[in-house]
Amino acid sequence: MNLDLFAPDDIPLLDVPLGPRAVVLRGLALPYVEALLPDLDRIFTAAPPRHMVTPGGFRMSVALTNCGALGWTTDRRGYRYSDTDPQTGQCWPALPDTFLSLARSAADAAGFSDFQPDACLINRYVPGAGVSLHQDKNERNFDAPIVSVSMGIPAVFLFGGLQRSDRAQRVLLQHGDVAVWGGPDRLRYHAVSPLKDATHPLFGAARINLTFRQAG
């Protein structure tokens, strides 16, 4: 029996449509990862990922930081975009060209031309970390899509509907996958299940997610 037939790494996964204007583009980021790592390191040095507190007083299990003109933050007073890092008072690190070209080619591939992100939220997950069901609705207009890049260890992504109670689809996001959604899917609820133990050759026991938005 050829056990290799059952090795999941060898199965070329297909792109997954999640809605009329929502799709997971399998492996689209793979050719970009190596080039963006030094930029990611610089960002983590200037603005280290940190655990923020929600308005409800919960410490997020995900550590986050930002690059770009605007950065998403949360504290006891609410969720918002800010042009400075509340921890340092400095501007967020600039959005590197390596990030921008990846974001734009993913948006193009999903049929959203002329994507001009001004914000990139960077989430760092370790095993056990996750994000509860939410909508992305702090951006000024919802015409632009969201482009979400997964790197490192895998995560189960839950993609629901426009109502919190709508049944969610489950999709595994692996290293290099990019989810893009906009149009009628822009405000759909979504979540990330707590990650299982795993290690990745480039990222160790961590998942890095970049979500690009047009926030301002």
Q: Footprint of ligand MD6 on this chain (CB under 6 A)?
A: 123, 131, 136, 146, 148, 157, 179, 190, 192, 209, 211
Full strand arrangement of the beta sheet holding 131-134: 131-134, 190-192, 155-159, 169-173
Report phi then psi at 40, rounded to 5. -60, -40
The site partner of 66 among Fe ion, ligand MD6, none (C-beta below 5 to 8 Å per kind) is: none
Residue closer to Fe ion (CB basis): 85 or 136: 136
Residue closer to ligand MD6 (CB basis): 19 or 91: 19
Residue 151 Cβ vs Fe ion, minimum distance, rounded to whole Å: 16
Residues 6 or more apart whose Cβ sits within 8 Å of residue 138: 72, 79, 80, 81, 215
Residue closer to Fe ion (CB basis): 98 or 135: 135
The site partner of 179 among Fe ion, ligand MD6, none (C-beta below 5 to 8 Å per kind) is: ligand MD6
Residue 4 Cβ vs ligand MD6, minimum distance, rounded to whole Å: 30
Q: Which of 153, 211, 207, 162 lies closest to 184, judged by CA? A: 162
Residue 190 Cβ vs ligand MD6, minimum distance, rounded to whole Å: 6
The site partner of 74 among ligand MD6, Fe ion, none (C-beta below 5 to 8 Å per kind) is: none
Q: How far, in Å, CA of 43 to CA of 96, rounded?
A: 9
Residues 6 or more apart whose Cβ sits within 8 Å of residue 181: 18, 19, 21, 22, 23, 110, 145, 146, 188
Residue closer to ligand MD6 (CB basis): 24 or 47: 24
Report phi then psi at 84, rounded to 5. -130, 155
Q: How far, in Å, CA of 208 to CA of 39, rounded?
A: 13
The site partner of 73 among Fe ion, ligand MD6, none (C-beta below 5 to 8 Å per kind) is: none
Q: How far, in Å, CA of 81 to CA of 116, rounded?
A: 16
Residue 134 Cβ vs Fe ion, minimum distance, rounded to whole Å: 6
Residue closer to ligand MD6 (CB basis): 53 or 133: 133
The site partner of 123 among ligand MD6, Fe ion, none (C-beta below 5 to 8 Å per kind) is: ligand MD6
